[in-house]
Amino acid sequence: MTFGFTPPSTTSLTQAAGGASRHGRRLEPAEWTSAGIPLLRNPREVVSGLHSRHVPVPSTAVIAVLGPEEQLVASASFVQRSASADGWEYRNALLAALRRVLPHDLRRRTPVRTAVLLYCREGDERWTEEDGAWMWGLRDACTLHGLRCGAYITLTRGGWQVLGEGRGGRRPSSDSRPERLGDTVAEFPAVSLRTGGGATEVLRRTAAR
């Protein structure tokens, strides 16, 4: 299985001083593919549901926790203002979001719930260094919250793509209207989340009955 690759010169990332040490906190495509990430049974249904609940725009991350039957347990979204190749920053943002919507599962010997990440961004479906940092952040946040690391999905104007699986579709996209949710979904009030950039953003959380 192969990934497309966008050279660093075409990405929006900037390298800070000492950035070489930070580059260890991202996953390359081959590392992600060999990590044994569980496949989603119905990725389009998962993507459509998260898109309808959170209506993400570029720079929005949606973290969702799925139960053993792939049912939605909880989800949260936030806008990550700073683009970075450092997965540590993204790990902290994801972990903060998880802690606000779901108790950890660290007392379990093996994880029973899986976290997936949908990231809405500019560009096409090809892997970028920013994607690699989100992958590292997702994997580490799952470990620290007692969850199994699940799929990483990008949402762009061209549609959605499950990186590492070769599965994707044109709808939903970052430009498409959200589909109507079913009557079995409960919506919870918005909670404010302070991001690493210092700006207060909205954290939206949902859960299935």
Question: So what's the pLDDT on residue 182?
Answer: 56
In angstroms, the Cα distances linking 12 to 26, 74, 124, 128, 130 are 16, 31, 13, 10, 9
Mean pLDDT value of segment 104-116: 92
Question: So what's the pLDDT on residue 12?
Answer: 37
Percentage of the chain modeled with pLDDT above 90: 64
Question: So what's the pLDDT on residue 3?
Answer: 42
pLDDT top residue among 177 and 15: 177
Q: What is the pTM of this model?
A: 0.79
* Integer Cα distance of 84 and 147 in angstroms: 24
In angstroms, the Cα distances linking 48 to 57, 171, 181, 182 are 14, 8, 9, 12
Round the average pLDDT of the chain to a whole number and report it.
Answer: 80
Q: What is the rounded end-to-end Cα distance, in angstroms, of the chain?
A: 37
Residue whose structure tokens are 């954290």: 203
Q: What is the pLDDT of residues 53-74, one digit of tens each?
A: 999 999 999 999 999 999 999 9
* Integer Cα distance of 109 and 88 in angstroms: 25
Q: pLDDT confidence of 82, banded at 50, 70, 90?
A: confident
Residue 190 has pLDDT above 70, yes or no: no
Question: So what's the pLDDT on residue 19?
Answer: 39
Q: Beta strand 114-120 with 148-156: parallel, antiparallel or unpaired?
A: parallel
* Integer Cα distance of 81 and 87 in angstroms: 14
Percentage of the chain modeled with pLDDT above 70: 75
How many CB atoms are closer than 10 A to CB 2?
A: 9
Q: Of 177, 136, 145, 172, nearest to 74 (Cα)?
A: 145
Question: So what's the pLDDT on residue 164?
Answer: 87
pLDDT top residue among 93 and 4: 93
The amino acid at 202: V
Residue 18 has pLDDT above 50, yes or no: no
Q: pLDDT confidence of 81, banded at 50, 70, 90?
A: confident
**Lowest-pLDDT choice from 113-117, 135-139, 177-181, 188-192:** 188-192
Q: Of 108, 11, 145, 180, nearest to 117 (Cα)?
A: 145
**Lowest-pLDDT choice from 53-57, 84-88, 100-104, 128-132:** 84-88
Q: Beta strand 167-169 with 159-162: parallel, antiparallel or unpaired?
A: antiparallel
